[in-house]
């Protein structure tokens, strides 16, 4: 372990422990102790938890030493396990009901070699286990922190943190991390940080969002393309270029104060080749060692396919995602335990409201099911959404907990992402000449297969995330088509998720073509940016802009804002049923496909009527077509304009426009 990593551990320990409960000053840990105990994870724990605590203790030759715990009644070593490497020990800690919060000591070794490593148990916050999570009432706003806003002006070496709570400077304020800032390079770091997010929480809340999903912020120490954070280098420390653990916790607190939940992005399938444990893992099968290199096959059917070969399944769950991301072996019980209590630690430490699990079907399914159960044993209401990126609806449905799978498998994953709907929306909105099953009928067809899902309230819907082409580019830089996408997102069943900047039709940065150039810097997030699209004045001045650096349609923002703010206060959209109608039109003696789509969201008292006109002509409403649901003209309220509108035969709906009207039944 190099000196930077050592001080990193000590600093984060300080960050983790300062601010509430017993305090711990890492400077007071004797050098002799740090020589022998280089790492203890989890960094701290709490009284009153259900999750059994198993400490990973690391140090040169520590596997051969005796470890006990001093400091008070009720906290002791129940069992200690040697690893394959002599430099680890896994210590099961008994914490009885009468154990008090406070500082305890891991006493390592004996006689003259004995050292004491402080370990803090905090008192658990009241109601912690019972915390609510994200639901259909939320709008989840997805951001990439490196590309959202930079409080340090893009200088990773002058980030806003760098001090303990008592004001003393941290020793590693200049991180020894190799990937540096170059905003002209689409895959370099661009310098966004946690303070930048905190500074713009008002913008996110004002848009009508009620939750933030940020791509990972843990240390990603890869030499190249580390900005996305998906190649973790240390599961217990926020990347110093984003801030530190204490600042992350502050971000969650400030988000809560503004009515925003926080969903953490969890990556159990893989770490990065620059992870600290790669040189000396506790066990040889800590991650999947595949010689020669074995790439995963990205075929998820291997888990439910009655004809699947063991070879194909093994390649899917054990192959590496990419050569820079070693594939974790969740079949090793110590790895599984590590990730279970790690997730619990972050929820409890930072006050999280939900989890999103990356590359879900690349994990071994059975251990991952145990992982979900472990998290929800501690937090029964905790929602977890898994990235099961598949266009086959029966396969997506397979991954949702409660689905009656023939092989008896239950993922215990509550929420899945609706990739089939995502694809259908974008294809529908780009098709102008449509055949029977094309255009808006694609969306109808996806919804028609809702019979396959166990729980329609736990489906995350979206039209883009950070892995997709920018929707503005897909929809031909047409704000009208973007508005239709927004209208669908705000009114279809499920939990909507919006990708940052889509509310202004951000597009791929011109002249570049790479994942990184789609993840553009939010204009105004960096000091010195020519425009600031976070502010109303900045947006008004920008109007519709195709600049060298970005494309934005400011007017779209106000539409999205009106829509999502209305949705927030409209319970029937959160819990209502759906009744939808095919897009067909009689022309002379033929019944042909029309590129429209209409549906009601309703309960016993309230209804919302949605009519998507995805054509370039005015459409007149055939209100009597819906007489199985409602007869005669109905006066309701247009949710965008706020004006009264009477739904009746002949009501014109403009080209490429969504009519959304709420009314009482």
- Please list the active-site residues: 358, 387
* Backbone CA torsion sign across 407, 410, 413, 416: positive
Q: Is residue 303 close enough to count as binding Ca ion by CB under 5 A?
A: no
Q: Closer to Ca ion by CB, 329 or 593: give it.
A: 329
Q: Closer to Ca ion by CB, 327 or 358: give it.
A: 327
Task: Tell me the window of 25-33, 240-248, 261-269, 335-343 that interacts with Ca ion (CB under 5 A).
Answer: 261-269
Q: Closer to Ca ion by CB, 106 or 335: give it.
A: 335
Closest residue to Ca ion: CB criterion: 331
Task: Tell me the window of 5-13, 358-366, 537-545, 559-567 that interacts with Ca ion (CB under 5 A).
Answer: 358-366
Q: Is residue 359 close enough to count as binding Ca ion by CB under 5 A?
A: no
* Spatial separation of the C-alpha atoms in residues 244 and 16, rounded to whole Å: 9
474-479-481 Cα angle (round to 5): 60
Strand partners, 580: 599
Q: Is residue 370 close enough to count as binding Ca ion by CB under 5 A?
A: no
Neighbours of 455 (CB within 10 A): 14
Neighbours of 601 (CB within 10 A): 24
Candidates 597, 332, 352; CA nearest to 485 is 597
Task: Tell me the window of 329-337, 410-418, 535-543, 554-562 that interacts with Ca ion (CB under 5 A).
Answer: 329-337
Q: Closer to Ca ion by CB, 1 or 294: give it.
A: 294
Q: Closer to Ca ion by CB, 254 or 331: give it.
A: 331
Q: Is residue 362 close enough to count as binding Ca ion by CB under 5 A?
A: yes
Candidates 237, 240, 89; CA nearest to 161 is 240
Which of 51, 268, 269, 657 touches Ca ion by CB under 5 A? Answer: 269
The encoded tokens of residue 473 equal 């580019």
* Spatial separation of the C-alpha atoms in residues 523 and 101, rounded to whole Å: 46
Minimum distance between the CB of residue 285 and Ca ion, rounded to whole angstroms? 8
Task: Tell me the window of 18-26, 43-51, 66-74, 330-338 that interacts with Ca ion (CB under 5 A).
Answer: 330-338
Helix (H) or strand (E) holding 585: strand 584-587
The encoded tokens of residue 418 equal 């609706």
Q: Is residue 215 close enough to count as binding Ca ion by CB under 5 A?
A: no
* Spatial separation of the C-alpha atoms in residues 230 and 216, rounded to whole Å: 6
Q: Closer to Ca ion by CB, 94 or 331: give it.
A: 331
Q: Closer to Ca ion by CB, 163 or 299: give it.
A: 299
* Spatial separation of the C-alpha atoms in residues 252 and 632, rounded to whole Å: 49
Minimum distance between the CB of residue 309 and Ca ion, rounded to whole angstroms? 16
Minimum distance between the CB of residue 280 and Ca ion, rounded to whole angstroms? 20
Neighbours of 27 (CB within 10 A): 10
Task: Tell me the window of 179-187, 356-364, 368-376, 411-419 that interacts with Ca ion (CB under 5 A).
Answer: 356-364
φ, ψ of residue 32 in degrees (nearest 5): -60, -35
Which of 133, 215, 329, 491 touches Ca ion by CB under 5 A? Answer: 329
* Spatial separation of the C-alpha atoms in residues 100 and 77, rounded to whole Å: 16
Q: Is residue 387 close enough to count as binding Ca ion by CB under 5 A?
A: no
Q: Is residue 268 close enough to count as binding Ca ion by CB under 5 A?
A: no
* Spatial separation of the C-alpha atoms in residues 640 and 556, rounded to whole Å: 12
Q: Closer to Ca ion by CB, 133 or 317: give it.
A: 317
Candidates 362, 366, 360, 421; CA nearest to 393 is 421
E strands, 175-276, in order: 211-214, 218-219, 234-238, 261-266
CB contact at 8 A, 77 and 93: yes
Task: Tell me the window of 169-177, 312-320, 394-402, 408-416 that interacts with Ca ion (CB under 5 A).
Answer: 312-320
Which of 123, 331, 366, 606 touches Ca ion by CB under 5 A? Answer: 331
Minimum distance between the CB of residue 301 and Ca ion, rounded to whole angstroms? 16
Q: Is residue 366 close enough to count as binding Ca ion by CB under 5 A?
A: no
Minimum distance between the CB of residue 514 and Ca ion, rounded to whole angstroms? 25
Candidates 484, 640, 654; CA nearest to 558 is 640
* Spatial separation of the C-alpha atoms in residues 163 and 459, rounded to whole Å: 41
For residue 130, the Cα-to-chain-centroid distance in whole angstroms is 21
Minimum distance between the CB of residue 362 and Ca ion, rounded to whole angstroms? 4
Task: Tell me the window of 299-307, 320-328, 407-415, 550-558 that interacts with Ca ion (CB under 5 A).
Answer: 320-328
Give residue for tokens 């029309």. Answer: 594
Minimum distance between the CB of residue 305 and Ca ion, rounded to whole angstroms? 18
Minimum distance between the CB of residue 81 and Ca ion, rounded to whole angstroms? 19
Residues for the chain: how many in total?
Answer: 665
Q: Is residue 327 close enough to count as binding Ca ion by CB under 5 A?
A: yes
The encoded tokens of residue 225 equal 């393309």
Minimum distance between the CB of residue 272 and Ca ion, rounded to whole angstroms? 14
How many residues bind Ca ion, per CB under 5 A? 6
Q: Closer to Ca ion by CB, 329 or 613: give it.
A: 329
**Residues that bind Ca ion in the complex, under the rule CB under 5 A:** 269, 317, 327, 329, 331, 362
């Amino acid at each position: 372990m190099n000196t930077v990593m050592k001080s990193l551990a000590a600093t984060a320990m300080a960050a983790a422990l300062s601010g509430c409960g017993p305090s711990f000053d890492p400077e007071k840990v004797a050098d002799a102790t740090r020589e022998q105990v280089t790492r203890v994870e989890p960094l701290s724990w709490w009284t009153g938890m259900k999750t059994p605590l198993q400490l990973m203790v690391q140090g040169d030759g520590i596997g051969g030493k005796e470890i006990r715990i001093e400091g008070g009644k009720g906290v002791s070593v129940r069992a200690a396990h040697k690893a394959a490497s002599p430099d680890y020990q896994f210590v099961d800690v008994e914490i009885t009901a009468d154990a008090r919060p406070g500082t305890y000591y891991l006493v390592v070794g004996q006689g003259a070699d004995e050292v004491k490593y402080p370990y803090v148990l905090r008192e658990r916050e009241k109601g912690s286990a019972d915390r609510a999570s994200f639901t259909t009432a939320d709008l989840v706003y997805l951001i990439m922190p490196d590309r959202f806003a930079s409080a340090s002006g893009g200088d990773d070496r002058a980030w806003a943190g760098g001090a303990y709570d008592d004001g003393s400077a941290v020793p590693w304020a200049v991180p020894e991390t190799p990937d540096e800032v170059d905003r002209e390079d689409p895959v370099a770091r661009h310098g966004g940080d946690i303070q930048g997010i905190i500074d713009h929480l008002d913008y996110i809340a004002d848009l009508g969002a009620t939750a933030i999903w940020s791509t990972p912020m843990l240390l990603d120490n890869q030499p190249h393309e580390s900005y996305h954070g998906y190649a973790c280098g240390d599961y217990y420390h926020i990347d110093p270029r984003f801030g530190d653990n204490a600042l992350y916790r502050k971000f969650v607190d400030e988000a809560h104060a503004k009515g925003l939940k926080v969903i953490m992005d969890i990556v159990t399938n893989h770490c990065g080749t620059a992870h600290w444990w790669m040189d000396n893992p506790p066990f040889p099968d800590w991650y999947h060692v595949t010689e020669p290199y074995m790439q995963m096959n990205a075929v998820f059917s291997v888990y439910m396919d009655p004809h699947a070969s063991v070879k194909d399944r093994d390649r899917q769950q054990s192959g590496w995602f990419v050569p820079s991301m070693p594939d974790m072996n969740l079949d090793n019980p110590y790895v599984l335990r590590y990730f279970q209590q790690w997730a619990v630690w972050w929820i409890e430490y930072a006050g999280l409201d939900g989890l999103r699990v990356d590359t879900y079907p690349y994990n071994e399914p059975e251990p991952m099911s145990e992982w979900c159960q472990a998290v929800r044993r501690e937090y029964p209401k905790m929602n977890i959404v898994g990235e099961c990126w598949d266009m086959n609806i029966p396969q997506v449905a397979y991954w949702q907990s409660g689905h009656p799978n023939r092989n008896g498998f239950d993922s215990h994953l509550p929420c899945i992402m609706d990739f089939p709907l995502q694809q259908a929306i974008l294809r529908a909105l780009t098709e102008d000449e449509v055949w029977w099953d094309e255009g808006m009928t694609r969306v109808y067809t996806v919804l028609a297969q809702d019979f396959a899902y166990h729980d329609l309230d736990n489906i995350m819907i979206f039209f883009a995330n950070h892995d997709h082409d920018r929707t503005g580019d897909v929809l031909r830089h047409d704000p009208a088509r973007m508005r239709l996408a927004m209208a669908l997102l705000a009114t279809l069943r499920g939990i909507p998720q919006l990708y940052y900047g889509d509310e202004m039709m951000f597009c791929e940065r011109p002249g570049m073509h790479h994942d990184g150039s789609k993840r553009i810097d939010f204009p105004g997030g960096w000091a010195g940016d020519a425009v600031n699209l976070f502010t109303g004045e900045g947006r008004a001045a920008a109007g519709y802009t195709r600049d060298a650096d970005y494309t934005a349609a400011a007017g779209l923002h106000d539409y999205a804002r009106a829509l999502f703010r209305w949705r927030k206060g409209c319970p029937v959209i959160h819990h209502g049923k759906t009744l939808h109608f095919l897009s067909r039109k009689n022309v002379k003696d033929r019944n042909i496909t029309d590129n429209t789509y209409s549906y009601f969201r309703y309960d016993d008292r309230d209804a919302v009527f949605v009519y998507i006109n995805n054509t370039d002509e005015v459409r007149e409403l055939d209100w009597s077509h819906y007489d199985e649901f409602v007869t005669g003209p109905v006066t309701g309220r247009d949710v965008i304009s706020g004006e009264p509108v009477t739904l009746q035969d002949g009501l014109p709906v403009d080209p490429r426009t969504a009519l959304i009207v709420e009314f009482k039944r």
